[in-house]
Structures are given as C-alpha cells and as structure tokens.
C-alpha cells in the first residue's frame, strides 16, 4: 500500500502551530482547540508514514508477493479518529466542534466505523446548514459506499435544502441526479428532467464543481443513450483467428455475440 503525496498533504493539513507530539488519546494541557487539532493531524501523519515504511519492508521481504504476507499491519487511523471525535464532544456547540468533526469524516475509510458514524450523526443533527461544511462537498457523492444509498440520498436531500453553499448544493444534487440518470427510462420525464437540471447546474457551477459533474455524470448519459436497447451498435473492427480483417457491420442483420476479455 502506498500513499499519494496529495493524500499525505491532506492528512498533514495546513501549516499551523503544533506542540510536541503525544500518543493518540493523550492531550497536552492548556492547548487551544487549533493546537489540539494540529497535534492530532501531525501525529496521524507521522503514524501513517511509519505504517507505510512497515508495509514497504514487508513487501520487500516477500519479494513483492502479497500472498506471502500472512499478517498485515493494521492502519493507524482509529485511535486518532477517536481522539478527534472525542475532542469534538469537548467543544460541543462551539465553532471549534465542527472542525474536529470535518477532519474525522475526511480521514475515515469505508465503512465509516464507530468514530466516523459519531461524527456524521453529529453533523446531521447540528451542522447541515453550516457554510463551513462545504469542504466535505467532494466526498458526498462517494459517501453512499459507506452509509448506503438510502441514507446517502436522504443526507443529500437535506443538504440541498439547508446548505448555504452553492457548491455543496450542487454536489448534493449530483447524488440525486446520478440515480435518475442511471436508472430512469431514457424516454421518461424523470430522465429528461434530470438532463435539464444537470445542464443548469453545469452552467452555474464553479470550475472544480463543473469538472466533477462533467466527468461523473455526462459519461453516464452518453453511454446509456449510445448503447441503449434498440440503438445501432457502434462500429467495431478487428482481425479474426485466420488473420482476416472484419467489422461488426459485416454481420448486419445477424445475431452476434461479442465477448470482451483481457489478459494481464
């Protein structure tokens, strides 16, 4: 397992005042909320670096063969996630609470686990109308893998109504539109309305949000409209086992089975 530079930057967070690191769960006295968060972020980053070094050593010892590693080390996140969500409880109903909750959600995996669940529930109860929640907007479309489609759609619907952030509302809308564009019949009012709404979102979105919407939803529309039942298949060319060139249109009017496979 390797960590990208971007992921490491996210974990280490922006520069700030930090104190000497302590193990997860141990907080130095007289820390400000920002110093406390900086400490968690810094120690998480250090633990992750050590974790990746351990993984590298194991893989090198196994000659790169994952199957030879009998016991993988556990990721170091849980203690720090617990510390962050506990810190959020310490600052309940203050502006600092959300910062710890946001960091927790940014760093949980799939599924959320108990600490991520605690953070998400608290956000749902108290912070859906907060502009500061906008930093989580890019995570919203993938949240369904952690919390299930039904809950993800419900959360997105609430954010569409309550969030003051145009960006967050656009990402929330994309969750709802994704379902319609993937599942509704092409000639249905639902599908047509979803396309019209998507066009409006693209026109109003900032560059980052527009790029996300274009990459995540436009291909869905294109594939469905191009390859729907009843549509003429696009041309496919190739060479048969005898070395003779052919194209799909050579078999027009005949039943053809296409078998796509890979070898690696």
User: What pLDDT digit, counting tens, does each position of 83-131 carry?
Assistant: 999 999 999 999 899 999 999 999 998 888 999 999 999 999 999 999 9
Amino acid 2: pLDDT:
43
* Dist. CA 52–CA 36, nearest whole Å: 25
Amino acid 202: pLDDT:
95
* Dist. CA 139–CA 137, nearest whole Å: 5
Look at 19 and 134; give whichever has higher pLDDT: 134
Q: Can you read off the two tokens belonging to residue 33? A: 């909320």
- Is the pLDDT at 16 greater than 60? The verdict is no
Dihedral of the alpha carbons of 214, 159, 122, 109, in degrees to the nearest 10: -10
In 3-state terms, what secondary structure has residue 239?
strand
What is the pTM (predicted TM-score) of this model?
Answer: 0.75
CA dist 249 → 228, 234, 235, 246 (Å): 18, 9, 7, 9
User: Which residue's entry shows tokens 């893989």?
Assistant: 59
Mean pLDDT (the chain) is: 88
Residue 222: left (phi > 0), alpha (psi -120 to 50), or beta? Answer: alpha
- Is the pLDDT at 14 greater than 50? The verdict is no
Q: Determine contact, residues 181/191, Cβ cutoff 8 Å.
A: yes
Quick one: what percent of the chain has pLDDT higher than 70? 88
* Dist. CA 90–CA 99, nearest whole Å: 12
Nearest to 83 by CA among 28, 150, 124, 142: 28
> 206-259 pLDDT, tens per residue?
999 999 999 999 999 999 998 887 788 888 898 988 999 999 998 888 888 878
User: Mean pLDDT, to the nearest integer, of 192-204?
Assistant: 95
Look at 165 and 255; give whichever has higher pLDDT: 165
Q: Determine contact, residues 194/202, Cβ cutoff 8 Å.
A: no
> 22-62 pLDDT, tens per residue?
555 555 568 999 999 999 999 999 999 999 999 999 999 99
Give me the phi and psi of 62, to 5 degrees please. -90, 5
* Dist. CA 27–CA 30, nearest whole Å: 9
Please enumerate in sequence order all residues whose Cβ is within 8 A of that of 260, keeping only pairs 6 or more positions apart, or say none.
none
Amino acid 22: pLDDT:
52
What is the CB neighbour count within 10 angstroms for residue 141? 19
User: Mean pLDDT, to the nearest integer, of 155-170?
Assistant: 96
């Amino acid at each position: 397992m390797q960590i990208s530079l971007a992921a490491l930057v996210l974990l280490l967070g922006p520069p700030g005042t930090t104190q000497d690191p302590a193990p997860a769960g141990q907080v130095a006295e007289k820390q400000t909320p920002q110093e406390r968060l900086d400490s968690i972020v810094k120690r998480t980053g250090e633990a992750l670096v050590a974790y990746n070094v351990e993984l590298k050593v194991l893989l090198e010892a196994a000659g790169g063969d994952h199957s030879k590693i009998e016991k993988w080390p556990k990721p170091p996140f849980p203690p720090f996630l617990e510390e962050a969500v506990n810190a959020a409880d310490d600052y309940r109903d203050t502006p600092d609470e959300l910062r710890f909750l946001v960091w927790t959600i940014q760093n949980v995996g799939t599924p959320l686990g108990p600490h991520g669940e605690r953070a998400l529930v608290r956000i749902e109860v108290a912070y859906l109308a907060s502009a500061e929640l906008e930093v989580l907007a890019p995570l919203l479309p993938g949240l369904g893998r952690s919390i299930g489609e039904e809950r993800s759609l419900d959360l997105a619907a609430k954010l569409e109504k309550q969030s003051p952030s145009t960006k967050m509302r656009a990402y929330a809308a994309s969750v709802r539109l994704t379902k319609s564009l993937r599942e509704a019949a092409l000639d249905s009012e639902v599908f047509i309305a979803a396309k019209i709404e998507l066009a409006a979102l693209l026109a109003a979105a900032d560059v980052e949000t527009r790029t996300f919407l274009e990459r995540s939803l436009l291909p869905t529309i294109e594939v469905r409209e191009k390859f729907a039942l009843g549509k003429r298949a696009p041309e496919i060319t190739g060479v048969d086992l005898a070395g003779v060139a052919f194209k799909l249109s050579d078999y027009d009017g005949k039943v053809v089975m296409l078998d796509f496979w890979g070898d690696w």
